[in-house]
Amino acid sequence: METPGQYKLVGKFRRKIFTRHGEFLASGRGFSQALCHIMNKVLIIGAGGVGSVVAHKCAMVPEVFGEITLASRTLSKCEAIAKEVKNRTGRVIATAKVDADDAAETAALIRKTGAKLLINVALPYQDLHLMDACLLAGCDYMDTANYEPLDVAKFEYSWQWAYQEKFKNAGLSALLGSGFDPGVTNVYTAWALKHQFDEIHTLDIIDVNGGNHGKAFATNFNPEINIREVTAECRHFEDGKFVETPPMSKHQEFTCPDGVGTYEIYRMYHEELESLVKHIPTIKRAQFWMSFSPNYLKHLEVLQNVGMTRIDPVVYQGVEIVPLQFLKAVLPNPGDLGQSTKGRTCIGNVITGIKGGKSKAIYIYNICDHEVCFQEVGSQAISYTTGVPAMIGAKQILAGDWRKPGVWNIEQHDPDAFMADLNAHGLPWQFIELSPEQAALFQVA
């Protein structure tokens, strides 16, 4: 007799499977899918705009993702997202409250949910705490952005790479940077090396956040992280080393394909440069570019001048506050921008190198429409382009294709299945060959 309260397989030929509540789930042909549904439990940490997209997209792939739990410090946010997921997909997901800064508390939640994989879409400050929690609970880990100390506007992979032996010895897998940039841009580069080049020599990642949200000033992802990135010193890779320049000091026009428009793009530092030049050592120059409107830059300059972008505490009426964190509290929530944002994003890589002894240059990119994203999952395209690759990276791990003990950047895995999933799950990509003149536009002056 089948016993409620546990998963149980009965009979060599009947092969029935029951839920932990004793409810019949599947037999015969549905057995394999039902078993996958039970085994592939995931815990998503973070209930912002990206967390909402990840929850929706995981729920849309029931053949891979079984029980889904969404957790954050604010339970009401998780519950609101769970309600949206149920309305849009018919899937019921669980919710939980957790302090992601507390590794022991998070590990207890991992054990309680039985999660096989933790998908970290919380703040970069919490990466190490969540990696520690996975080690404590015996759970695989993945994120979309590398670790950043709370008190220093600096982000690099050294802290997470230091976990390599811990994860390897525990037989656990950690996937770093499975968003769009980092993430898809890394996979684009790996795919280009596999299929288009014998050697890659230059890489220019261009992130055009096209569109208009109708607000006087807003950031299209977490304001605190966004402003810390933009105001940090710029670094680009050239001739075997990183070269530092003042923030936003180099810029130029860039015309996107397919009528997206012409934008002013600014050179800044982004973490995928660090991992890509390490893992693809033939790269001689690597730069990252992002578009900003004059309106955004004007507001940012004023906020910097009056001290609102500071990350060191100040005392106000006897209470310590961090100006940038206060600013985050009064700015529009990026997760709420989907209903008003119109236009398209265009993110891609200009890559040059050698194929068959001849010079070659390509541009590989995705264009994403804000309104289409909102219709599907209630999000603007910035959250969508990060959340979809997070789901796809999780899918590769759960399928076993990318699961190997240790800590890995996304470009260290075979890119082909991920690239196919981008086309299948909402982020179709294209590539075109460039003339030498087109490729030369990004030369260092």
* CB burial string 344-365: b at 16+ within 10 A, e below: bbbbbbbbbbeeeeeebbbbbb
Amino acid 11: pLDDT: 31
- Structural domain includes residue 290: yes
CA nearest to 127, candidates 152, 153, 156: 156
Per the structure, the complete domain to which residue 308 belongs is given by 184-379+430-442
- Structural domain includes residue 24: no
User: Are the C-beta atoms of residues 438 and 302 closer than 8 Å to each other?
Assistant: no
Task: Say how many C-beta atoms besides its own lie within 10 A of residue 443's C-beta.
Answer: 10
In total, how many domains does the chain have? Answer: 1
C-alpha 79/C-alpha 374 separation (Å) is 19
How many CA atoms within 13 Å lie on the side-chain side of 382? 27
Q: Which two tokens stand for residue 235?
A: 């670094």
Q: pLDDT (tens digit, 0 to 9) for every residue of the chain, 445 residues total?
A: 333 333 323 233 333 333 333 333 444 444 444 555 557 999 999 999 999 999 999 999 999 999 999 999 999 999 999 999 999 999 999 999 999 999 999 999 999 999 999 999 999 999 999 999 999 999 999 999 999 887 766 778 999 999 999 999 999 999 999 999 999 999 999 999 999 999 999 999 999 987 666 666 666 666 666 777 777 889 999 999 999 999 889 999 999 999 999 999 999 999 999 999 999 999 999 999 999 877 777 777 778 777 877 878 888 888 898 888 887 887 777 666 656 678 999 999 999 999 999 999 999 999 999 999 999 999 999 999 999 999 999 999 999 999 999 999 999 999 999 999 999 999 999 999 999 889 888 888 6
- Structural domain includes residue 259: yes
Amino acid 148: pLDDT: 86
The CATH number for 278's domain is: 3.30.360.10
Report residue 353: phi and psi, to 5°: 175, -150
- Structural domain includes residue 189: yes
- Structural domain includes residue 336: yes
- Structural domain includes residue 315: yes
Amino acid 304: pLDDT: 76
Planar angle of CA 72, 313, 315, nearest 5 degrees:
115
Amino acid 29: pLDDT: 42
- Structural domain includes residue 358: yes
Is the full-model pTM beyond 0.75?
yes
- Structural domain includes residue 279: yes
Q: Which two tokens stand for residue 385?
A: 């382009």
CA nearest to 67, candidates 84, 75, 49, 55: 55
Amino acid 36: pLDDT: 54
